[in-house]
Structure 1
Amino acid sequence: LVPIDGKIKQWAQEVIDAAGANTDLEKVRAIYKHIVATVKYDKSGQGWGRGDIYYACDARRGNCTDFHAIFIGYCRALGIPARFAIGFPLPADRGAGQISGYHCWAEAYIKGIGWVPVDASEGAKNPAKREYFFGAHDENRVEFTVGRDLVLNPKQAGEPLNYSIYPYAEVDGKPFTSVDNNFAYRDLAAPSTNNSRE
């Protein structure tokens, strides 16, 4: 769902040309800024949530999966390695509770720096934190898997998984979708550091 073709490369090139970006870091930043300024976090209607770059570019809306499909596709079309990561968000004032859904983000590889994290959907939702979410992630997330189009080990009989966040099972070589899942969190007390000897 994130092909690298002439159209994607053209769109990516238009973004970096408009920004006057030259280095890979400048290009990645320009792509991020373009996405947070032009894509709306909106889960209404149909089509969102699959990470389909063509849907996301046409609709200019979607969830985190759609935001990062554009980011990853544009980076890769320009020869910049980029990858997808997915996990669960945690509320800032944790305690204990249920997790209602997943959250995803992306990283781009810049020579001499390494993997640079971005969260374009959070940047779009929180304009005051747009600069922060380019190059940083908050502590309110737990990463489960990296990548898309996943082949499991042992290999599943079904198609590669678009991404992996919820349990996957097969019965008689066919995907079994009636797997119940429940995700929760709770804060744990820090271990005692009392090292006194009696």
Structure 2
Amino acid sequence: MLDYGSLSDFELTDLLKEGDAAAYTVIYNRYFGELFIHASNRLNDKEEAQDVIHELFVTIWNKKQDLLVKSDLAAYLYTSVRNRILDIIAHRQVESKYINSLQGFLDQGYCITDHLVRERQLAELIQKGVSELPLKMREVFELSRKHCMSHKEIAVQLNISEQTVRKQVNNALKILRGKLGIMVFICI
């Protein structure tokens, strides 16, 4: 019977490459404690350190035929753990930047989509209110507001007095304020 505990790392690695589960178990037991302490000190999180080591050993078992240990097994394992820790730290930094960015966005209290929706709803309410105005009043109001014509230009075009134009625009604004007052308050 082969005494796996007395085998060198090199011999255990060769057996592992052949799919020897006992060699894998010896490697795991030999290095888990040291690697765990190393990872735990770097990550300051015992559960995450344990996950890193377990993931490393799962990867080693799954890729045992392709395992390429150039110098010694301990150096290979420590390098693998270090690289995984660096990946976790980099991920934490990205996550932290994202959370800070998101928090800054939330602190601004500004949501462009919400404002665009409200603006569109308000425009629809105004258009509906304008369409409900009496015909002549609507015509005067649209020439004033949509076509940016002066009261004098509207009076000439419609063959009415400037005073009538002024009165029609003021009446239209009063009606719209009355109809839209509550709706605008709700929208804004």
Give the TM-score normalised by structure 2: 0.21
Q: Whose RCO is larger (CA < 8 A, sep 6+)?
A: 1
Report which of the two has the higher share of helix. Answer: 2
Greater Rg over alpha carbons, structure:
2
Give the TM-score normalised by structure 1: 0.20
Report which of the two has the higher share of strand. Answer: 1
